Amino acid sequence: MLKKLFEKNDYIRLGEIDRAEREIKKLKELITNLQDQFMDGNISPNDFHLMKERTEKTLSGKLQPNFTFKHIRKVVINTKLHC
């Protein structure tokens, strides 16, 4: 019974990691798109800096120093293999 509960929690955590990784990728792509728009002259320097600052703030909230989702995924999967 407990084993099934832990397995379910592992799948939930792996799903949350995947979702967070997709969100981080999306934010990085947004910054790249903002840079492209700025370089093409489609947005003003002021607008670019405001949007980039907001996006980077959101991104920094998703990233933690010395913390990687790949590491967590590896720990969860290795834990399952040893059970």
Task: Please tell me the predicted confidence (pLDDT) of residue 17.
Answer: 79
Q: pLDDT above 90 covers what percent of the chain?
A: 37
Indicate the burial class of 56 (C-beta count within 10 angstroms; 0-12, 13-18, 19 or more).
Answer: middle
Beta-carbon contacts of 32 under 8 Å, excluding residues fewer than 6 positions away, are none
Mean pLDDT of 24-47: 94
Q: Report whether pLDDT(67) > 70.
A: no
User: How many Cα atoms within 13 Å fall on the side-chain side of residue 15?
Assistant: 6
Above 50 in pLDDT, residue 11?
Answer: yes
Count of CA atoms in the C-beta half-sphere (13 A) of 34: 19
55 has pLDDT over 70: yes
State yes or no: pLDDT of 5 exceeds 80: no
Question: Mean pLDDT across the chain, nearest whole number?
Answer: 77
The pair of three-digit structure tokens given for residue 62, joined into one six-digit string: 């998703």
